[in-house]
Structure 1
Amino acid sequence: MMKPRATMLAALAAVVVLGAAGCAPAAAPEEEDGPVTITVTGKPPADQPEQLKVFNDRIDEFMADHPDITVEGSDKNFDPQTFNAMLAGGTLPDLYVVYFTDSLSIVRNQQAGDITDALESTGILEQLNPDTLELASDDEGQVFGVPFTAYALGLVYNRDLFTQAGLDPDKPPTTWEEVREYAKQITEATGVPGYGTMTQTNTGGWMLTAASYSYGGTIENEDGTEATFDDGATAEYLELLKEMRFDDKSIGDNILYNQAGIGEALASNRVGMFIGSPSSYQDATVTYGMNPESIGMGPMPQANGTNGTLTGGGVFMVSPETTEAQKEALALYVKEVYLDAKLVEASAVDAAKANADQNLPVGLPELPVLSDADYESYLGWIGDYINVPLANFDPYTASLATMPLLIEPPVKAQDVYASLDPVIQAVLSDPDADIDALIASAIDTVNGKIAR
């Protein structure tokens, strides 16, 4: 799952704020004669006046630089349940945002416009990471979207609890067997549950998918026509959770966590480890006041060899109804309002300084959506303002060089995650839970959803 919807929209809003710090206009592409109007996603609601002002100010600045382009903000957000109706009814913004879970199916279903030429004319195409760009491209290499945020999952942990348990906080576990050992040692030494996992609002299925991948399993077949998580890997992980919960007692009685809840538990020393993304750092430190030096991140634990880690993110896509002139304008808008905060030195420095002044994390490890060269330049520009203890992330960042990056289920991933939430909850709440029966029932449910 990309992040839950609130986190996804917050990330989008944050990028708008970053872009507002200072953004020199790029050379305009060749535009057709006459004015053009585009509607763009990301408009904050009226009860967020400060964010709304930033959004509107940025649009005004963009239009002042490009007087032939009129930009209208939209508060319509992507929802897999209503997307087809919005598309058919003509209410979809010209520029909309989707999760990695949905971008490839949208491309296959021809529900987005081909923006390859527009990206080339604005110079964006060569500045993007080709690995993440594949998640918005077809088999012929034509591009239908621009990834703007990406992540890979890993093991988030409380370094203080590691130290109290006699564990080296610079050497987190790298296998699921070691996770079990570390969790048991933390619980025995501190009385704190050594391990926890998200389980609700689709995050349980998200985590179960990530763990299944790390065991070498799959959730759907390659074309997304059939559920495949009865291949043994999912059952192996669920059995591990069951043993940790009821035999080791290293998973606590509170089993109902979402992303915000488990971040709060980490910050308040109520859980030692969980699987999450680097954004968990901001949740724990900024939202819940955790000491930045107390949080660490390691690689996604593996079983049965090195299998990989789940990746996700957000993609800007363009309505298939847009004209070529609109595509040109939309590509320019994405570049100047969003990407230039990392592609233009002055904008990058201004944004980093503004975030540092507000004690927001600067330099948090991420999967870059930019090319290697452009991302290295960006890190060099903001070096003086990086305020994240990067050494605490060394085990995680080192793993990304060799860890295979695995995409989310290709068809109806959010529905799949929702169907798997009850499975992980049942295993953690009932010592007699029949794992095979739970999986078989979930297979039927997911196959029914895929078929619709």
Structure 2
Amino acid sequence: MVTVSVNGMPPKTQPVDRKYFEEDIKEFEKQFPKIKIDAREGFMDPKVFSAKLAGGQLEDVYYVYFTDPAGLIQRRQGADITPYLKDVPYVKDVKPELQKVFTGPDGKIYGLPNGQYSLGLVYNRELFRKAGLDPDKPPATWDEVRTAAKRISALGDGTVGYADFSKNNQGGWHLTSWLYSMGGDVATQQDGRWKAAFNSEAGKKSLQALHDMRWTDRSMGTRQLLEIADVQKMMGSGKLGMYMAGPDNVPTIVKQFERKYSEFGTAAMPGSATLGGGNGFMFNPKASPEKIKAGVQWIQWKYLNPDREEFVTKRSVKDGVPIGLPLDLLYSGAAMEKVDAVHAAHATVPQKNFAQFVERNAKLTQKVEPPNAQQIYTVLDGVMQAVLTKRDADFDQLLATAEKKVNAVLATVK
């Protein structure tokens, strides 16, 4: 018998997710009677992580965000799990770009993904119809976004064509995705050191597009300094055409504002790339080989298991969890087809509303957040705020000033 400690258990404030987690532990232990799961709440906390590891308090299997693995691997704070993956089902079917997040410079694998998201455009299908736009053919370029936003704003009665975030680090987060979509970067690595990269043609194009919608077209409304809750409320009120977000935003809007799934769609990010993120699990470098092997079995069985998708989906439908949204697209090939077929058979949301997202998103480059992302976003918030509140904002000055501040942030990356 081997006991494996794992975190990531949902708190009691999420009763349905908690119930599922506890049910899954019982079923797993029934199928693998020589393994016991010691489940704990909580996720990766960078402030206490190193102390927990040094003090022997870190779980054998611990939850991380996609921004964590590179640094953890570099500091040797994650175990090499490559030897334990040879006979594990479906690991080979995980999308290469997601598995790459957990792959070290040495080519070895240090973790497994279990969740993934990509930013795109959430849009109001009814406003598209009213503006004479085809809701089944949402914008695929930023020029098309601008045109659609103008037509939606022209409906009047307080209707806004496009909205974006600009505070509480959410503006910097979205500006990062703007840059990616325009073919740029926020930061790049040069000779082993990170440098700001947004003071570029892509940076200027991003700011110009925002400026033009805000001040020339006036399709972003006059109220600015928004964050996600503000924009979701606008969408929930039926007065917003589009905003940058992933498909996971739609259930929030439907639930909080008593809307219907048929009212909304999600399009892929215009341009050539999008900001993608996610989460997964890594393994304590001090854990025994037996614990690591058992932990890998648990992660694969619970999170990377197309064979359980029928059961998991039916259970979710019973509890009113929406099925059919393009979320956690973890696999490629036959494994993804198997999952898609199950979701299509039990869909509770109109999948055609998300078809463009699925089709185009697969062709976009998925780029993760920069290192020290939240500190960088604090700086870039100021850039977004200036462009959206000052008609005569100086792009060159904004980018140059932000570049110096972000380089100081990146100088601390280890």
3-state DSSP class of the match of 2:240?
coil
CA distance in 2, matches of 1:66, 1:404: 39
Change (3 A) 1:44 1:168: closer
- Asked if the contact 1:352/1:382 (under 8 Å) is kept, the reply is yes
Q: Which residue of 1 aligns with 2:163?
A: 196
3-state DSSP class of the match of 1:161?
helix
3-state DSSP class of the match of 1:246?
helix
Q: Deviations over 1:192-235 (max 9, x none)?
A: 11001122333211110110111121111135611111113222
Q: Deviations over 1:409-431 (max 9, x none)?
A: 2x222322232222212321232
Q: How many residues align?
A: 409
Deviation at 1:310, TM superposition (A): 1.9
- Asked if the contact 2:4/2:294 (under 8 Å) is kept, the reply is yes
* 2:337 paired with 1:376: yes
Q: Which residue of 2 aligns with 1:432?
A: 392
Letter in 2 for 1:373: A
Pick one of 391, 394, 404 that aligns with 1:444. 404
Indicate the structure with greater strand content: 2
Matches within 5 A, 1:77-116: 77-116=43-82
Deviation at 1:57, TM superposition (A): 4.2
* 2:180 paired with 1:213: yes
- Asked if the contact 1:282/1:360 (under 8 Å) is kept, the reply is no
3-state DSSP class of the match of 1:122?
coil
Change (3 A) 1:47 1:398: closer
CA distance in 2, matches of 1:95, 1:221: 30
Matches within 5 A, 1:252-263: 252-263=221-232
- Asked if the contact 1:152/1:310 (under 8 Å) is kept, the reply is yes
- Asked if the contact 1:220/1:228 (under 8 Å) is kept, the reply is yes
Structure 1: state its 5+ residue gaps.
Answer: 1-34
CA distance in 2, matches of 1:390, 1:53: 27
Change (3 A) 1:326 1:406: same
- Asked if the contact 1:41/1:74 (under 8 Å) is kept, the reply is yes
Output the aligned Cα RMSD: 2.3
When structure 1 is superposed on structure 2, of 221-230 and 204-213 the one drifting more is 221-230
Q: Give the TM-score of the pair, scaled to structure 1.
A: 0.83
CA distance in 2, matches of 1:159, 1:208: 25
Letter in 1 for 2:196: A
Change (3 A) 1:260 1:335: farther
Q: Give the TM-score of the pair, scaled to structure 2.
A: 0.91
Pick one of 336, 346, 353 that aligns with 1:392. 353
Letter in 2 for 1:393: F
- Asked if the contact 2:91/2:300 (under 8 Å) is kept, the reply is no
CA distance in 2, matches of 1:172, 1:52: 37
Letter in 1 for 2:295: L
Letter in 2 for 1:442: A
When structure 1 is superposed on structure 2, of 98-107 and 48-57 the one drifting more is 48-57
* 2:333 paired with 1:364: no
3-state DSSP class of the match of 1:230?
coil
- Asked if the contact 1:76/1:92 (under 8 Å) is kept, the reply is no
Q: Which residue of 2 aligns with 1:29?
A: none
Deviation at 1:281, TM superposition (A): 2.0
3-state DSSP class of the match of 2:262?
helix
Q: Deviations over 1:152-186 (max 9, x none)?
A: 22222111111111222122222212212211111
Q: Which residue of 2 aligns with 1:154?
A: 120
3-state DSSP class of the match of 1:147?
strand
Change (3 A) 1:431 1:390: same
Q: Deviations over 1:324-348 (max 9, x none)?
A: 11111101111223233xx21xx32
Change (3 A) 1:121 1:424: same
- Asked if the contact 2:313/2:342 (under 8 Å) is kept, the reply is no
Percent of aligned pairs with the same residue?
35
Q: Deviations over 1:3-37 (max 9, x none)?
A: xxxxxxxxxxxxxxxxxxxxxxxxxxxxxxxx322
Deviation at 1:450, TM superposition (A): 1.6
CA distance in 2, matches of 1:419, 1:272: 28
Letter in 2 for 1:412: N
Q: Which residue of 1 aligns with 2:381?
A: 421
Change (3 A) 1:286 1:352: farther
Pick one of 313, 316, 319 that aligns with 2:278. 313
Deviation at 1:268, TM superposition (A): 1.5
CA distance in 1, matches of 2:218, 2:265: 23
3-state DSSP class of the match of 2:172?
helix
* 2:298 paired with 1:338: no
Q: Which residue of 2 aligns with 1:36?
A: 2
Deviation at 1:385, TM superposition (A): 0.7
Letter in 1 for 2:103: S
- Asked if the contact 1:101/1:414 (under 8 Å) is kept, the reply is no
Pick one of 281, 289, 292 that aligns with 1:324. 289
Q: Deviations over 1:375-406 (max 9, x none)?
A: 11122234321122121222222213432222
Matches within 5 A, 1:238-249: 238-249=207-218
Change (3 A) 1:403 1:57: closer
3-state DSSP class of the match of 2:285?
coil
Letter in 1 for 2:344: G
Q: Which residue of 2 aligns with 1:270?
A: 239
Q: Which residue of 1 aligns with 2:249?
A: 280
